[in-house]
Chain A
Amino acid sequence: MANVEAWRNMREVCIVGIGMHKFGRWPDKSAGDLVREAVVAAFDDAGCEFKDIQVGFSGCVQRVTGTGQAVFGEVGQTGILIDNVEKACASSSTAIRVATWVVGAGLYDVALCTGVEKMQRGLLGAPASEESASYSQLMGLGIMPGEYALRARRHMSEYGSRREMFAQVAVKSHKNGALNPYAQYQTPLTLEEVLNARMIADPLTLYQCSPTSDGATAAVICAREVANRFRGKPITIAGWGSGTPAYSPVGVGGDVAEGFIYKVGCEAYELAGVGPEDIDLCQVHDAFSAGEVFAVEELGFCPSGEGARFIWEGKADIGGEKPVNTDGGLESRGHPMGATGIAQAIEIVRQLRGEAGPRQVPGDPKVGLQHNVGVGGCNVLIYKR
């Protein structure tokens, strides 16, 4: 748990510009091509130029070495500090958090965060050959949908949640994604289509697994006190939480560990000075549909065990009591791993500015929450208008 007083003594930090390259499959574009479009859009949104940027953080997973330097080089080379940030699927939310720290501490006034990924089709973590495979890989044990499925089956056994309730997450995601021009998949799916899709790891079918994707995102972050230099409507990063799963002798463990999101969420609520009841919308890590169920429970939007029913009853829909993954989430918007964290932040900024068009959350939302999980860690960030 971070020192709350030290955080409150830091300068207020905000996102003042956002940009994104549509997620999808872009075999003819380089990572630099994708980032360039996202950064140009973010600069246009903020009303800034590269010379305004004092420090940079680049989130990327599969191609880390030198990526930040290469992709920033597409848009400017002014000699600033650029760090590569890697936390698997939570890489670019980590970039935002680290930028928030250094700007909040007063080391710099303006930072640029980027996220990018170009991915292959198929299961992540597959070995190149039998000889190079670990024991876990030889035995088919170390697969990500399996981990989420294991916790989903436990949830079904413990709380009586049903497979169609997990499938409903994907139905909702695709309904929202159909309203998002930046989403990889913009076609609604019926419950039957989700349930009848190819089984991956019971109870999760293909459409309950996020796709592999190409895409890029960018965010300009600055001290609130200098935000008037720019025309972008500032959205404050009000609090954050982060950590790694604690050891537990029995349970799913790892990044899907029971109680892990709760712990990180508590830290974010404490630092932001808000509670679950104050959150007007959220973007959570639905790499697999069941992940959204665990997140809405552990973030305190409904009691333990009732997350699947909460989504099934439409309470997480746009217009519901707690809209979740209004941009389609990882499943429909797409999940280019290094770009996902900033994509979640972008959707919250759009919603809090009232610029989300047909998927705008009604009632003038003021507080948004982001939950982003990567191998070995989880970030929760809370944003306020």
Chain B
Amino acid sequence: MTEATKEKKRRPIRPGRFVVPDDPKAEPHLVGSRCGNCGKYFVPPRVICLNCGKAQMEEVPIKGKGTIYSFTTVHQQLPHALVKVPYAIAIVALEEGPSIHGVITEDLDAVEVGKSVEVYFEKVKEDDEGNDLLVDKFRVAGK
């Protein structure tokens, strides 16, 4: 066995919302799609454009920067969720145009409508092969 194959990998805990590059030094990123006809972005990715109806979508990375459109602090634990109360759910209006629901678990007192936030990726557990399983969260930017 070579050194490389022994290396632990990083993976999203569920596929689809973000991509983890094989290069361990490269940052994961959220994924969306961009319409080749009208230029609009969609998160999560779409096959047909919801704006112009054309099927010319290209999957693209999403920077994960935006502002809080609204938020709520959740105090009722959803059974089997990995995120524990209290945590905030924020609707983040992304720089690319669409919005996304994201979780905030740190510095909840700083969360306000209009605040700039950015995505980050956090290991929550390991799978049976020892790979790191990641989730995405948001935090108030510039802290």
Contacts and interface: CB of A to CB of B under 8 A. Distances in A.
Whether chains A and B associate is: yes
B78 A140 contact: yes
A250 B99 contact: yes
B69 A251 contact: yes
**Dominant secondary structure of chain A at its interface with chain B:** loop
Interface stretch (B23-31, B54-62, B80-88): B80-88
A5 B13 CA distance: 53
Contacts of B79: 122-123, 126-127
B89 A127 contact: no
B78 A143 contact: yes
Nearest to B77: A140
Contacts of B93: 250
Interface string A139-180: 111010110011111100100000000000000000000000
A369 to B, nearest CB: 28
B70 A157 contact: yes
B40 A249 contact: yes
Contact of A201 (B14, B76, B101, B135): B76
A346 to B, nearest CB: 31
Contacts of A130: 80, 82
B72 A153 contact: yes
Given A138-B81, A138-B82, A252-B91, A143 B70 contact: no
A202 interface: yes
A150 B69 CA distance: 9
B73 A150 contact: no
B50 A153 contact: no
Given A134-B14, A141-B103, A252 B70 contact: yes
B71 A153 contact: yes
Nearest to A134: B14
B98 A123 contact: no
Given A126-B79, A252-B91, A150 B40 contact: no
Contacts of B80: 126-130, 133, 137-138
Nearest to B87: A140
B39 interface: no
Contacts, number: 112
A199 interface: yes
A146 B135 CA distance: 20
> Which of A143, A201, A249, A253: most chain B Cβ within 10 A?
A249
Nearest to B73: A202
Sorting the interface of chain B by its residue count into under 10, 10 to 19, 20 to 34 or 35 or more gives 35 or more
Contact of B69 (A146, A149, A154, A203): A154
A271 to B, nearest CB: 28
Interface in A69-126: 122-123, 125-126
A141 B40 contact: no
B61 to A, nearest CB: 18
B44 to A, nearest CB: 10
Given A249-B97, A251-B99, A252-B91, A137 B78 contact: yes
A338 to B, nearest CB: 23
B36 interface: no
B14 A200 contact: no
A202 B13 contact: no
Contacts of A200: 74-76
Nearest to B84: A140
B113 interface: yes
Contact of A198 (B75, B81, B87): B75
Contacts of A126: 78-80
A145 B85 CA distance: 14
A352 to B, nearest CB: 38
Contacts of A136: 101
B17 interface: yes
8 contacts: A137-B78, A137-B81, A140-B78, A151-B70, A153-B71, A154-B70, A157-B114, A253-B99
Interface of A: 122-123, 125-130, 133-141, 143, 145-146, 149-154, 157, 198-203, 247, 249-253
Given A135-B13, A250-B93, 15 more contacts: A123-B76, A135-B135, A138-B83, A140-B78, A141-B103, A150-B72, A150-B89, A151-B70, A153-B72, A199-B73, A201-B74, A202-B75, A249-B40, A251-B69, A251-B91
